[in-house]
Amino acid sequence: MPLGAYRITALLDGMAPLGRPFFFGPDEGAIDAKLAEMGLGPDLLPAPVTAYLLRSDDRTILIDAGMGEVDLLGPGFGRVAAALGAAGVAPGDVDTVILTHAHPDHLGGLVADGAVVFANAELVMAEAEAGFWLDAGMMAQAPTEAQGLFQLAQTVVEAYSDRVTRVADGAEVAPGVRLILSPGHTPGHAVLRIDGGDRQLLMLADTLHSADLHTAMPDVGFGFDVDPAAAAHSRRRLFEEAASDGVLIAGSHVHFPGFGRIQRAGDAFRYAPASWL
């Protein structure tokens, strides 16, 4: 998709076999009714895991890196490296990796066989996100089932230790690329506003995990949200912004290739996919 000075390419890492139990809210019946209304079966709500390649004349930027070798949601992941190759990009060509947040399906692909994959890249992430996942006290307080998430994040960041840049909310992390905090899914979850000059895009990362359900019911929680209420607040705020501006959006788990627009629909929203250009 052209973005003025940039061109952004969707890289499919794999398909996450999400099901109805991942989504919850105060009125479970309303969720079931909405899924039925939209013709979505409760047993399988597949969501892509998508990374994005952002290129200009002098920059090669990777936004997230997929699951890599991590075995969390079953087989079929770890395709980002091959997708980069198909786009004519070698791992050594990537000069910056922007991490929207530190969940395995976003940072797992940064290492392989214990070594960094993108040897020449600076790793950029929000200070709030790094501060959470790299904090020993936070890890000690986390439930047993979440310990592995902390360990993976720490292993990956340590591998890039001399090239990690932590940034504040609103920081410009590349020319025309601004990182904006949208906490809730994780404490330092971030989205990216990309301004290529004559076209802009809002990369929503994990603001939504079902383009259909989360636009129709923005307050529905998701199983991996650290703070579901904060995630819902961030989601509504970003949907309002995207709908008001009419800006192109992309998302990590939006129907591949993930480009579209958020439109108002009564007191909620709808997702309208964009044509490929």
Where do the structural domains in the chain lie, given as residue ranges?
Answer: 2-273
Tell me, which fold does domain 2-273 have in CATH?
Answer: Metallo-beta-lactamase; Chain A (3.60.15)
Give Rg (Cα) of the chain: 18
pLDDT tens, 237-248?
999 999 999 999
Residue 56 has pLDDT above 70, yes or no: yes
Residue range 140-169: mean pLDDT, rounded: 94
Report CA torsion sign: 162, 195, 229, 30: negative
- pLDDT at position 277, please? 55
| Residue 183 pLDDT > 60 | yes
CA gap 261, 229 in Å, rounded:
24
Query: Is the bond leading into 42 cis (omega within 30 degrees of zero)?
Result: no
- The pLDDT assigned to 74 comes to 76
Positive or negative torsion for Cα 114, 168, 250, 253: positive
* Whether the predicted pLDDT of 264 surpasses 90: yes
The 10s digit of each residue's pLDDT in 100-125 is 999 999 999 999 998 999 999 999 99
pLDDT of 194 over the 70 cut:
yes
Q: Indicate the SS3 state at residue 194.
A: strand
Are 223 and 21 contacting, i.e. CB atoms less than 8 angstroms apart? yes
**Identity of the highest mean pLDDT range in 14-18, 45-49, 125-129:** 125-129
Per cent of the chain over pLDDT 70 is 99
How far apart (Å, rounded) are the C-alpha atoms in residues 30 and 191?
A: 29
Between 49-53, 73-77, 87-91, 251-255, the lowest mean confidence (pLDDT) is in 73-77
pTM for the predicted model, two decimal places: 0.96
Dihedral (CA of 140, 160, 177, 166) sign = positive
Q: Is the pLDDT of residue 42 over 80?
A: no
Q: Please check whether residue 83 is in contact with residue 11, taking contact to mean a CB–CB distance below 8 angstroms.
A: yes
Question: Is the pLDDT assigned to residue 276 strictly greater than 70?
Answer: no
The stretch 89-103 carries a mean pLDDT of 98
pLDDT for 272 equals: 96
